[in-house]
Amino acid sequence: MNNFEFYSPAHLVFGKGVENRVGEMLVGKCKKVLLHFGGGSVKRSGLYDRITASLEKAGIAYCVQGGVVPNPRLSLVYEGIDLCKKEGVDLILAVGGGSVIDSAKAIAMGVCYDGDVWDMYQTGKAIEKALPVVTVLTIPAAGSEASGDTVITNEEKQLKYGYGSNHLRPLMSFMNPELFYTLPENQVANGIADMMSHVFERYFTNTTHVELTDRLCEATLKTIMHNAHKVLDNPENYEAWCEIGFAGTVAHNGLVGCGRDQDWGCHNMEHELSAIYDVAHGAGLAVLTPAWMKYVYKDNIPMFVQFATQVMGVEGSFRQPEDIILEGIEKLRMFFLSIGQPATLSEMGIEEKDFELMAKKCTGAAFGAEHPVGGLKKLYWQDVLNIYKLANE
Ligand code: NZQ
Ligand code: ZN
């Protein structure tokens, strides 16, 4: 096990009706709030009205900025920073999914920074502070309600970059699983694929003697898969949503990655798809992950046998390890198809002519400085290209 630090300060408030407590729990923590949200789902569901009523009842002043789109845009972040400065906002309340929360985090650090907030995404420069961010989660997926990460799309440059800092970990996150009832099926499937990938990125490692986190990863993955069809078959299955919602937070708050080298190859490869084609992050991961597994498994056969047997339930101790692994990967692929994910990149509208450009952007080769991605196996641009091709078969 590697040395590690675990810091996950977000105060999680979980269960039915918790969004009505937002106002009272912000008393004494801020003077003026920016209520940040997305397209329209929060208004259609009545959540927006409940949040504003809760703020008003508690006497919390607020201004509003909606319009965050999936794969949140840098241009809206700039507008949010200007608005916060003009209005004297000192806390951002993000009501929505990963895109809204990530946009809120970008604004939170941009308000406290004199230069262009894109600098952080571009260079990884450390920040010293950010406004506090509080979230009300409406889709279990990205894990941004507890993570220190933000992912923003620079639409002008067609770049989608992530940035992480402990200063960006939310102060509080409210999760009422009833709010997930209105999610369209494709967003449910995207969320499931994304949270599973957050575990995979930590689970697949060459670090040994990490039994506790191995078991935590496996339990999280099995819980997600066990409840996925329950929520798809009955979108008002509260108990199943509780399991999925909690698992989504655990998948990405850092716990299951403690003491392990992590991978993140699939996430890096997916961000290139979203940057050019504006596809859903989870859908891209569902297509890329089985292809990545097929490409890298020979580098750590025992790890992939463990995955196939402990997570995917493959049996047969007298069989060849490779047969066990390939069956495990195929079972995962079939699971993603069963929840409605696409099978290939071309099914998502991604054209083969762009594979090489995306592969070169992914490793930096397109910008003259190549840094391989991935941990279990280092991937150079030719490897990424091969994986894109495998994900199209
Ligand atoms: O905009 P509205 O109208 O609210 O609609 C949203 C949006 O269209 C809709 N939605 C959300 N809650 C709903 C709902 N519709 C009906 N009922 C509800 N309760 O769902 C759509 C997708 O929302 P989005 O926020 O984009 O989804 P998600 O949470 O999957 O976030 C994806 C973004 O998070 C980033 C991804 O790259 C992507 O940009 N990630 C952020 C991470 C982090 N900060 O730690 C880690 C992840 O790996 C990921 O990269
Ligand atoms: Zn993700």
- Ligand 1 neighbourhood includes 41 CB (under 6 angstroms): yes
pLDDT of 317 = 74
Claim: this prediction has a pTM higher than 0.75: yes
Q: Is residue 67 predicted with pLDDT exceeding 90?
A: yes
- 31 and 123: one domain? yes
pLDDT band at residue 207, thresholds of 50, 70 and 90? Answer: very high
- 170 and 217: one domain? no
pLDDT of 204 = 98
pLDDT band at residue 178, thresholds of 50, 70 and 90? Answer: very high
- Please name the residue whose Cα sits nearest to atom 46 of ligand 1: 142
- 312 and 367: one domain? yes
Long-range (24+ apart) CB contacts under 8 A made by 302-307 are 303/204, 303/205, 303/206, 303/376, 304/204, 304/328, 304/329, 306/214, 307/203, 307/204
Average pLDDT over residues 121-126: 96
Q: How far is the CA of 315 from the centre of ligand 1 (A)?
A: 36
Q: CATH number of the domain that 125 lies in?
A: 3.40.50.1970
* Boundary (domain end) residue, out of 163, 179, 195: 179
Q: What are the tens digits of pLDDT across the range 236-254?
A: 999 999 999 999 999 999 9
Number of domains composing the chain: 2
Q: Is residue 1, in this structure, part of any structural domain at all?
A: no
The answer to whether residues 306 and 325 touch, using CB atoms and an 8 Å cutoff, is no
Domain containing 238 equals: 185-390
- 21 and 126: one domain? yes
* Boundary (domain end) residue, out of 128, 147, 179: 179
pLDDT of 137 = 98
Q: Ligand 1 pocket test: pick from 92, 138, 174, 179 the residue with the most ligand atoms within 8 Å of its Cβ.
A: 138
- 321 and 245: one domain? yes
Average pLDDT over residues 340-366: 98
Q: Is residue 377 predicted with pLDDT exceeding 80?
A: yes
Give the angle subtended at the CA of 325 by the CAs of 391 and 256, to the nearest 5°: 85
The answer to whether residues 294 and 333 touch, using CB atoms and an 8 Å cutoff, is no
Token pair for 156: 């002008």
The percent of residues in the chain predicted with pLDDT above 70, rounded, is 100
Which residue in 141, 161, 145, 9 sits closest to 77, CA to CA? Answer: 161
pLDDT band at residue 318, thresholds of 50, 70 and 90? Answer: confident
- Ligand 1 neighbourhood includes 102 CB (under 6 angstroms): yes
Average pLDDT over residues 165-171: 98
pLDDT of 316 = 77
pLDDT of 51 = 98
Computed over every residue of the chain, the mean pLDDT equals 97
* Boundary (domain end) residue, out of 179, 211, 229: 179
**211-233 vs 185-203: helix crossing angle, rounded to 10:** 170
Q: How far is the CA of 237 from the centre of ligand 2 (A)?
A: 24
Q: How far is the CA of 59 from the centre of ligand 2 (A)?
A: 36
Atom number of ligand 1 nearest to Cα 68: 1
- Ligand 1 neighbourhood includes 173 CB (under 6 angstroms): no
Token pair for 219: 């339990």
Q: Is residue 364, in this structure, part of any structural domain at all?
A: yes
Q: How far is the CA of 276 from the centre of ligand 1 (A)?
A: 18
Token pair for 24: 């009272």
- 312 and 380: one domain? yes
- Ligand 1 neighbourhood includes 179 CB (under 6 angstroms): yes
Q: What is d(CA 266, CA 272) in angstroms, rounded to the nearest whole number?
A: 10
- Ligand 1 neighbourhood includes 253 CB (under 6 angstroms): no
The answer to whether residues 391 and 291 touch, using CB atoms and an 8 Å cutoff, is yes
Token pair for 320: 């060849």
- 112 and 173: one domain? yes
pLDDT band at residue 330, thresholds of 50, 70 and 90? Answer: very high
Q: Is residue 161 predicted with pLDDT exceeding 90?
A: yes
Q: Is residue 54, in this structure, part of any structural domain at all?
A: yes
Q: For residues 294-328, b (16+ Cβ closer than 10 Å) or e, as one string?
A: bbbbeebeebbbbbbbbbbebeeeeeeeeebbbbb
Q: What are the tens digits of pLDDT across the range 268-301?
A: 999 999 999 999 999 999 999 999 999 999 999 9
Average pLDDT over residues 250-261: 98
Average pLDDT over residues 95-104: 98
The answer to whether residues 62 and 204 touch, using CB atoms and an 8 Å cutoff, is no
Q: How far is the CA of 143 from the centre of ligand 2 (A)?
A: 8
Q: CATH number of the domain that 215 lies in?
A: 1.20.1090.10
Q: Is residue 175 predicted with pLDDT exceeding 90?
A: yes
- 175 and 194: one domain? no
pLDDT of 334 = 98
